[in-house]
Every structure is written in C-alpha cells, then in structure tokens.
Amino acid sequence: MIILKHLTVERFRLLRELDLHFPQRGSILIQGPNESGKSALLESIYFALYGKPLASDARQQSSLDELISFGAQTATVTLLLSVSTTELLIKRCIERGQGQQITLSIRRLGIPNEEIITNLQIANETIEAELGQLTGEVLRNSWLIEQKGLARLELLSGEEREKIVREALGLRKITSLLEYFRVTDEDEQQLQLARERVRLAEVQHRLPVLSRRLEEVEVALDVVNVHLRLSEVKQQEDEILEQEVTLEEVKTRRSELRTRQSRIQQLKKAEATLSEIISAYEDIAASRKSIPELEAELAELERREQEELPLLEKRVAELSELMRSFGTLQRMSNDLLTSVDAIKELEQDLKQYDETQDDLKSVETQIEHTTARLQEVRQTLQELEERRRHSRPQLEARLERLQNLLERLTTLGKQEQQYLQALNERTDAQRNSEELEKTAQELKETEQELALAEAEAQQAQKQAEELEQRWRQIGLRQQLEEWHRLKGMMQGQREAQSLLEQARLNQERLQLALEEARTSKGRFGVLLVVSVLAALIATAFAIFAFAFAVPRLPIPGVIASIVAAVSLIAATFSFHNFKQARTSEREVEDQILTAMSEYKKMQGAQVAASANLKPETLERIEREITSLGGSIPRSLEEAQQLLRKVGEFDESVAEAQQQAMRKREEASLARNQVSVTMEAVARLRKEYARLEEERKQHDWDHLEQRLEQAQSEIQLLHQEITLLAGQEGLPLPSLDDRLQPADVLYTMTAPSEEGSADIPQLETLVESSLKDTEREIAALDGKLDAASDLGEQVKELEASLQHLQQRQKTMQERAERYKSNNPQVQLERAKEQQVVLKQALQDLNTSLRQRVATLGLTFGQAAVNHAEIQARRQLEELQITLGNKLTLQERLDTNTRRVKELQELLSERYKQLAKYSNSLGSWIVPPKPFAEDLLALRERCQQELASTDEDAITQEFARLKNQEGAAQAKIQLCRQEITYVQDVIRTLLRQHKRPEPKSYSLQGLATVWPLISKYTPEDQRRLEHERSELEKELDVLEKQEMALSKTLQIGENPLKLEQVRKHLEQLERAFLVKKHGNRVLKEARERLLQKVVPRTEYYMQQLLPLLTGGRYHDVKLSTKEEAGVIGGGSFQVSVWEPAANEYLPKSRLSAGTADQLSLALRLAFAIAILPRELGAAPGFILLDEPLSSFDRGRSRALVDVVTGDILGQHFEQIILISHSNTFDPAMFPYHVYMDNGMIVESNFPTVQSVLSASLPTEGRQETDTDPAQIAISAQTLS
C-alpha cells in the first residue's frame, strides 16, 4: 500500500516553506484562506511523484518556471512515501531557466541502500515502476479529486476510462500473462510438425507390413498367371488348325477371280481403242473446218499492212514536227517577256544613278560643316581642363584643413563634458565607499549570529531525533511482543491443522480397509455357498451312480465322490476366511468410530482457535512494525532476539511521543530562527554585491587617474587648435575667448560666458569658412559638368563625321560602278533585241497557222497534241493486229499436220481391234468406219464391263489377300505366343527359384511348383483386387513418406513411433494449456472490467444517502454505447426521485445536487478500482475543494463521509482541502491551517525526520505481484 509519510517544500508556487509529517492513518483537514497555498500543497505532491505541473486542463502546457515562487530562483520539493515495505525518498529541485533536477533514494528492508538515482528519465521510470505503474493520468481520474474537476470522470470516453481501470488494477500483469499464454504461430507449427512426424513414423511402420503382404499376393498372382498362360497355349493351338483350313479355301477362290479379271482387262482395252478412233474422226473434221477461216484472216492482214500502215506513220511524223515548232514559239514568247523586264530594270538603274549624284554633293557639304563645329568644341574643352588643373587642388586642401579643425573643436567639447562628469562622480564614489564598509561590518556580525543559531538548531534536531528514535523503539517492542504472541498462536494452529490432516488421512485409510474387508467377506461368502451346493450335488450324484451303475464301470461314481470331497475342502477354506474377514470388518469399524470422534474434537478446537485469531490482526501488526522502521521476524526465535536487542524501557509510548513532540517544536523554532538569520545574511550579501557591482560598473577605483588623463588631453587639443586656426588666418581674439572656458576647467570652476557676446565663436568662423570653400568647389564642379557636356558633343560630332564619310565612300563606289556599266547604253541594246524577237515571233506564228490548216486541225498546241496522241494510238493498234499474222500462220500449219497424223493413227487402232477379236469375238471389229457403228460397239463394251462388276472382283481379291495374310499372321502370332508363354512360365519359375519342367503342361509344372495346384484362375479377380488395394495404399504411403521426409528433412533414418507419439502428447498438452490459459485470462480481464460499473454503482448507493442527508437513496449508473469497449462508453448518472416516480438525469437536478452526484461517482469509482491485493495500492485519497459551494448541511454530510467508515476501511489517509470555515477541525483527527504559504496551525504528530534516518537492513518481503495475487484481486473485485 502506498502511504505518504513526509513532505518538505520550499518556494514552490505560493508555498514559501512547508514541513509535514503525515500520520499513518486518519482523516486530514487542510484549511486556509484563498491564495494560502492549499492547492499548491497537493500539486507539490503530484510534482514530486511525476515531475510535471498539475495543469487544470490537459491542453494547457505549464512551464516549470511557473512553479517557482515570485522573486525566487529555485524551488525544492522532497517527498517520502512507503510502498509496502519499500521507502522512496524523492527530491526535485527547479532552477529558473535551467529545468529540474532529481535525487531518488530507495530503501528496502533486508538489503543495503541502493545507489542514488539522479538521471531524470530513469528516476521517473523507477518511481512509476515502484508505484505499480500508477501514472499521473490514472491518479487524477481516481484518487486525486481536483478543484473544479468533479465531472472529469464523466467526460471521459469508454476507451479512456477502460485504459485507466486497466492501469489502476495492475492488469498489465494479465496482459503479460496473456502474451505468455498466447498461442503463437510457432506453437501451431511445432504441433503440426509433431503430428506430421507421428504420421511419418506410422507410415514407416506400416510400409514393411504392406510390402510383405504384397509380395505374397504377387506370388499367388504369378501362380494364377501360369494357369492362364497354359489355357492361352491351348487356345493358340486350336486357332492354328482353324487358320490352315481357311488358307486352302482362299487359294481356290483366287483362281476363279483371276479368269474373270482377264476378260475385263480385254474389254477395257477394246473400249479405249474405240474411243480413240471416234476421237480421231472428230478431230479431223474440226481441223478441216478451221483451215479456210485462217487463210481468209491472213489475207486481210496483208492488205492492211500494205495500205494503212504508211499513212499512219506519215501523220504521226508531221504532228510531232508541228509540236516541236509550238515549243519553239513558246520559248520565243518567254524571251520577249524577259527582255521587257530587263528594259524596266535598266530604266530604274538609270533613275538611281541620277539620285546618287545629287546625294553625293549633299554629303560633302555636311562633312565640311561638321568638321568646323568639331574644331570649336575641342578648343573650348581644352580651356576648361586647363582651369580645373590649377584651381581645384588648392580649394580641396583648404576644405580638408577646415574639416580637421572642426573635428578638433568637437573633440574638445566632448572632453570637457567628460571631465565635468568625472568631477560629479567623485562625491558618489565617496558615498559608495562608506556604504561598503558599513555593509561588510553588518554582514560579519550576522554571519556570527547564523553560526550560533545553526549550532543550536542542530543540537535541538539531534535531541529530537534521539527522542523520536526512542519512541519508535518503545512502539516497536510492543508490536514485536504482540507479534510474538499471535505468531505463537498461529504456529500452534498450524500444528493442529497438521494433526487434523493426519487424522483425516487415517480416517480415509481406515475407510479403504473397511471396504476391502467387506469385499473379502462377500467374496468368501459366495465361494462358501457355491462350494456347499457343489458338494451336495456331487454327493447325490455319487450315491445315484453307485446305486445304479454297472459293477464293472464305477468311474462316474468315483469322479462324483472326488468332486464332492474337493467341494467340502473348498467350503471349509471359504468358511475359515469368511470368519476372519468378518472379524477384521468389525475391528476396522471400531477404529473408524474412534478416529471420527477424535477428528471432530480436533476440528472443534481448531474452529475455536480460528475465531480468536484473525489474520488481519497479524497483518496490521506487521504493517505497524514496518512503519516503525523495524523488520518482520522470520521466526519466533528471531523475534526473541529482536526483543532482547531492543531492550526494555521505563516510560510508555505516549510519554515518549509527547517528549519527542516538544523537542521537535523546539527544533522547529530553532530552524525558523536559522531561516530568518539566513535571510538576513542573504540580504546583506546581496546588498554588498550590489555596491561592489556599482563601484566596478562606474570604475570609481580609477577616478583620479581618469581626471588627470582628461586634463592632459584637453591641453593638447588647445595647442593643436591654436596652430590650425593660425594657419587658416582666423582672428586671434576669437580664439582666445573660445579657449577661456578650458582654462577655467583646469581650476575646477564653472565656465564663464561674460565678455564673449560681441566676439564671434571660433566654431562659427570655421563653419562659415568651410561653407565658402565648399561653394567655390561646387562652382568649379559646375563648370566641370559643362566640360563633360562638351566632351559628349565632341564624341557625337566625331561619330556623325565618321558616318558621313562612310556614306560618302559608299556613294562614290556606287557612282564608279555606274560609270563602268552605263545604264543608258544597256537600255538601248535591250530595246533593239526586243524588236528583233517580236519580228521572229510573228513570222513563226504565221508559218504554224498555215501548217495546222493543211492538216485540218484547230490552231493551238493542245489540239495538235491531242491529234498526235490519237494518231499514235491508231498506229499501235495496227501494229498489234499485224503481229497476230505469225500466230495465224502457225495455227494453219498445225491443223494441216494434225490431219495427217490422225489418219495414220486410225490404221493402227483398227489393227489393235483385230487382235482383240481373237479373245472377245469378231463383233469387236466394226464392219464400216461410220460413227454410228463405232458408237454402238463402244456402248456394247461398256455394257459388258458394267455387268461384270470389276470393283467387286477387285474387292474380293483384296479381301482374299487380307484373309490369307491374316490367317498366316495369326498362325505366326499363335506360335510366337506359345513360345512367349513358355518363356514367361520359365521366367516365373526362375524368379521363384524353381527347376525347369520336362513339359509345359499342368502336370509337369505342378511337379516342380506344388503351389500351382493350390490356386485356380477363379482366384485372379480376388487377388488382383487385393494387390490393387495394397499398391494404392503403398503408393499413397510412399508419397506421404517422401513428402513428409522432404518437409521434415528427416533423411534416411526412420523415426521411432513410440518416441514421436510421446513428444506429440507433450506438445498437445502444452498447446491446450496455453489455449485454455489465454481464454481464462481474457475472461478474467473482461470480468474485471465489466464489474467496475456495477461496483461503482454499488458504492454510489452507499455514499449518496450520506452525502445528500438521506434525500436520495437509489442511483443508476449507465454507459453509452461505444464500439470495442468492454465496459461501455462514458458514464451517465441518474437518481430516483420519489416525487417524479422515475430516474432523473443530472441535467434535471440543481447544481448542488449534481455536484453531490459527481462527488459520489468519483469516490465510488476510486473505491471500485482499488487493487487491494497488490502491494502498490494507493492508501490515500486527495480531495481539493470538492464541494466549495455547499451549504452547512451538505458540508456536514461531506465531513461524515470523509471521517466515516466507508472511506476509512478503504483508505489509510484521507486528505480534504477547504477554504470554508464551516468545517470544524475538531471533527477531524488531524488538521492543518495554512496562511501565506506556511503552516500556521497543525496537530500532526511530531516524529523523527525520516528524510535522514537510516532504515533497518534485515529482512525483506517481496512486493512483486504474481498471477495468483492477480487472481485474488479479480476474485475480490467480482
């Protein structure tokens, strides 16, 4: 639990100095007027914890410099708090403009002090870790109720509130456990890998079994195969006999078809010969008909060649010549036009020649005028330059001398003013020296007083610490004695619990023994009954057998007698064991009754002891021991040693505490006196430093040297000014009057102005002379400006003259060119050529018109060109027609030659028909060479060919050939098959290591392989099905093995099935643990977050009647809908109003009642999210002006809540801040009154300063929270 123990503050906001020792438990009221530093006290605690200001709005960014009191340069906050058995000492210092510094010291029980932390970031992280990750935001929304921040919780969204609840309840541990129990992809991969390894091992184990069975099936199939092969041999031999009969039938049928096929061939040849004869007669008739037509066409072509061809060639030649003449006419027309253009250009050149002569004369006149003007300007410019070289240097030298003199006069005035100021500072330097001596004397006396006060304060503080240590030792002894008593009782209770457990175990053992005895009793009882019945039956049967059996065969009676004897022996044994079991049962029952009686007595004693001893009492005593600086003993012997070490004391705890408080007050007064004296020393030192700084700033230590140096500089300036004024010819009376004030300064008297009213001042004379000189130089510069203008004119005239000369040169060149090529002569020649061209063009035109008229055409080049194209086209058509003459002649010769060849062919064909008549008959030869006879004979041949069906004969031949080939092939195949079957059987026998048989019959093979007689061909289907199934399974398993081996990278070594199965079971168990653990943790976290709202509502219903004085009792807390949030969105509070008979929201209530509801919500939420089982649970709650606008009744209700049991049972320290006087300090166990940043009144206990006290180093308790504690916290909250 987090407890505030000690707080010291210096110059923090409105707090000037504060030193508070918080009580271990109780309600605390902090009162004071406005601006007294009450809220600054809470902000100092927040700043000590988190190192940042407590801004009222999250959007405000406060600077650390704002935390320092006005007029101070530094601020210091020191906080001592305990977190369970660990104490944190936090000291933060702020220096204006430099940021903050931190010193963190951690003290734990049982271990040496840890190294002091000064790094800001590391210290902040360490503090937050020690506080159980309690951040500033969580504190402000839960256990710190700020001024005007009652509605802060209601303004939070569901996600923000849920984040605060998770951090407050320490659910980060659950988050880390969730991460630990999270099922990762690697876990699933490992599990899948293990499963695949198991599958691979199973496959590897199954493969050899299947392989052996497959080999057996293969052998059986080979045997069946031998049977099938033998049947195939039989079938092949039968097939060979059938195919030999078929071959004989094919030979007989083929001879018949060959005779029919020979006659068909003769008919075909005769029919072809007749067709050739008919064709020859038709070709001869066609050739004889085309010969006269070809001869007529040849005669017509010869006529046109002799008559039309020469005329067309002549016309084409004449039209071509005429077109050339028209081209000449066109060229002459173009030349005539060109001559006209040349005449126009020559006339233009002649005109330009005349203009050039006139321009040349004008340019020569301008050149003469410009040359004269240039000479005049150059002469004027030369005169100005001569004047400037002689007058300007003298004026510039005078101007420089006058400026130097004026500067010296200005410097003299400044030196005189500095000298007067140094004289005035002499008095201030004397006064500063006197004040320095006085301040140094006062500072020395005050430092002596400070040393005495510090010695007294240290002595008083030492005595107070000794008394406080004595008080703590007395309290520690009392708590150790009580702890020793309670621990002894608890140890006895544990021993009783151990005895009780032993009794319970003994009872269970006896119960088992009783059950075993009853089982034995029942078993032997049944055996006894069975044995007796068997003996009776056997005896009766023996009597019957002996009475009615044949004398020579007494065997049944003997057997029955033996059975009866054995049954009697068994009955006797069973009876004896039955009796022992019953005795043992009774003994065990007696022991059980005795054990139950003792167990109940021990259980009653333990219940009575538990009622008198409560664990909370021991925990409270241990917390008191820890708070008093002691270590919790690990055993009763260690407690005895600690008691002896502490020793005995005469006074009581109250007396020792009273003495410590008195001595503490004396030490506080001594410290106050030291503080006052230190302030006086600081003030005097600051004054002394200010005086020293003032003396150094004005350099009063060297004042006399500066006066002497200024006086010598003024004298030198006087001499230099006199010399310069004499050189410029200034009047000496004026100079003497100007220097008179300087002589007066030497005697340290004020300057006099008498007698100088009628004499001009030296500065005025120098300034007037300076201005006159400047005016003369300006006049000279004006003339020089005119000289520059003249220079510009010279440049312009020279440029103009150069341009005119260039133009004159150009015109002269053009005139020379015109003289060499006279335009007038060229113009006359061009006109003569134009006349000649006109006459020639007219003659040619007349000639062309006459030639066109003779040809009967229209005059014009286009018409002549058209006529020429038509004549050339007609000539080409005639030439093409004449070119066919050779083709016609060749056709005529070809027809004549073909008639002769066909006549010769007819005689040969008639001879062939005569040959065919020997086999076909005389009818094949035509009696007459007429077409009708020949056609009739050919038709008869075709009819006979159609009736014979040659295609059918051909197909029959092909069928017979195929049938013969198939039969021979079948015979060959059958023989090959028989040989192959015998080879196969031989191979199978060799494979199965059997000798070669004498014959390949069933009897011969069975002799060498007896297995053949066990299987028949009917077993083939069953064996093949079994083999197929085995092969499929083997193939699947081999593929699985290859894939799994490749995936798992196993290699050639097989896996052990039992080993991989055990590994898989372990992984599956770990996987299920993670899976269910993750689910349980998630459910626990969700249940914790879901219970916050109901718990808050529950505590609100307890607090609201107290705050409202019984006005309201029933309150309903609901949340808005918000996606992704377990506990819902922002809070909505409504209260039951009996008058309205409904729940009313806050908006319909008065402002005071709404504030009461908000306060009840804040307090209930702070209680609901307390992590009670965590070592870092806040043990305090801070309320800063929660209801400042309350009336007296409501304020009294608030006091009842703060000082009551509801908050007291959840928080050790309840701090209420108020400026209202309605709160009676007597109603609070502890109260503090503040004013002007200091504590005016307080009833806090005076204890030893724990900021410097050393902690015990023996013993240590772990403060880390494990999952079991988190589970306890979740169970308590739910």
The mean pLDDT value for 215-242 works out to: 84
* Radius of gyration from C-alpha coordinates of the chain: 72
Fold of 390-629: Helix Hairpins (1.10.287)
- pLDDT value for 1252: 43
- DSSP string covering 76-110: EEEEEEEETTEEEEEEEEEETTTEEEEEEEEEETT
- pLDDT value for 1250: 44
- pLDDT value for 1278: 32
Phi and psi of 1137, rounded to 5°? -110, 110
Asked whether this chain's domains 1-131+1174-1240 and 390-629 adopt the same fold, the reply is: no
Edge-to-edge strands, sheet with 1180-1184: 144-145, 1180-1184, 1213-1218, 26-31, 1230-1235, 1238-1242
Q: Helices 950-991 and 185-548: crossing angle, nearest 10°?
A: 70
CB hemisphere CA count around 114 (13 angstroms) = 15
- pLDDT value for 78: 95
Edge-to-edge strands, sheet with 1131-1137: 1115-1119, 1131-1137, 1142-1145
Identify whether the C-beta of residue 1113 lies closer than 8 Å to the C-beta of residue 1105: yes
Query: Both tokens of residue 949?
Result: 């069906």
What architecture is domain 1-131+1174-1240? 3-Layer(aba) Sandwich (3.40)
The average confidence (pLDDT) of the chain is 77
Please state whether the predicted TM-score (pTM) of the whole model is above 0.85: no
- pLDDT value for 533: 81
Which of 759-768, 965-974, 1055-1064, 1161-1170 is predicted with the least confidence, judged by mean pLDDT? 759-768
What's the pLDDT tens digit per position in 930-942? 667 777 777 777 7
Query: Both tokens of residue 51?
Result: 């190192």
The mean pLDDT value for 982-1011 works out to: 82
What's the pLDDT tens digit per position in 181-190? 777 888 888 8
- pLDDT value for 1070: 83
Nearest to 2 by CA among 88, 76, 77: 88
Residue 1029 pLDDT > 80: yes
Residue 734 pLDDT > 50: no
Residue 363 pLDDT > 50: yes
Indicate the SS3 state at residue 407: helix
Highest mean pLDDT among 122-126, 793-797, 982-986: 122-126
Sign of CA dihedral 378, 381, 387, 389: negative
The mean pLDDT value for 201-222 works out to: 84
Q: Residue 229 is inside which H or E element, if any?
A: helix 185-548
What's the pLDDT tens digit per position in 939-978? 777 777 777 777 787 888 888 888 888 888 788 888 888 8
d(CA 684, CA 439): 7
Residue 193 pLDDT > 70: yes
Query: Both tokens of residue 140?
Result: 């402000």
- pLDDT value for 758: 37
d(CA 566, CA 559): 11
pLDDT band for position 611 (cuts 50, 70, 90): low
Q: How far is CA 1016 from CA 219, 230, 1008, in A?
A: 13, 12, 17
What's the pLDDT tens digit per position in 508-554? 777 788 778 778 878 777 887 887 888 788 788 777 776 665 454 46
Mode of pairing for the β-strands spanning 1180-1184 and 26-31:
unpaired
Identify whether the C-beta of residue 1230 lies closer than 8 Å to the C-beta of residue 20: no
- pLDDT value for 968: 83
The mean pLDDT value for 33-37 works out to: 82
Residue 771 pLDDT > 90: no
Which residues lie below 8 Å from residue 1008, measured CB to CB, with a gap of 6+? 989, 994, 995, 996, 997
d(CA 301, CA 313): 17
What's the pLDDT tens digit per position in 1066-1101? 888 888 887 887 788 777 777 777 788 888 888 888
pLDDT band for position 91 (cuts 50, 70, 90): very high
Query: Both tokens of residue 496?
Result: 């009783």
What's the pLDDT tens digit per position in 655-703? 776 777 777 777 777 777 777 788 888 888 888 888 888 878 877 777 7
Residue 641 pLDDT > 80: no
Domain locations in the chain?
1-131+1174-1240, 390-629
pLDDT band for position 1189 (cuts 50, 70, 90): low
Residue 617 pLDDT > 50: yes
Q: 541-545, long-range: CB within 8 Å, 24+ apart, which pairs? A: none
Q: How far is CA 984 from CA 225, 332, 995, in A?
A: 9, 115, 14
